[in-house]
Amino acid sequence: MAYPPLHELNLLHANICQALADPKRILILYALADEPRHVTALAEMLCLPQPTVSRHLRILRQQSLVTSERDGTAVVYSLLDHRIIDVLDTMRQVMVDALARQSNLLEDNGFS
């Protein structure tokens, strides 16, 4: 039985992954998991130019990973769903375990 062709949900799913697929955006998400923050606060924390942070935040916003709220002239961004952090944490654990396995393989073959 052939699978249905790539359906809409799968495209959206891939879009979410794409939004996560940048080291700066991952840092932004972890920073927002801590607490909501202004754009400038994020830029300073991560040592990035403000326009760069804004552009990354837009991408995260378009995927409904963060929300924004005005606070005077500033805009406060917050994480929309903390399960995204669980997702990132699990992925990181999978990655670390894979690296450990590879490292063991190397040792077992006398490459340590």
Q: Helices 39-46 and 50-62 sit at what angle, rounded to 10 degrees?
A: 120
Residue 96's Cα: distance from chain center in Å? 17
Stretch that binds a copy of itself, among 19-27, 52-60, 68-76, 103-111 (CB under 8 A): 19-27
Which of 95, 103, 105, 106 is in the footprint of a copy of itself by CB under 8 A?
95
- Give dist(CA 42, CA 27) in Å, integer: 9
Q: Is 100 in the site for a copy of itself (CB under 8 A)?
A: no
Nearer to a copy of itself, 70 or 83 (CB): 83
Residues numbered 34 to 63 that lie near DNA (CB under 7 A) are 38-40, 48-52, 54-59
Q: Where are the beta strands (DSSP E) in the chain?
A: 37-38, 66-71, 74-79
Contact of residue 16 among a copy of itself, DNA, none (CB under 5-8 Å per partner type): a copy of itself
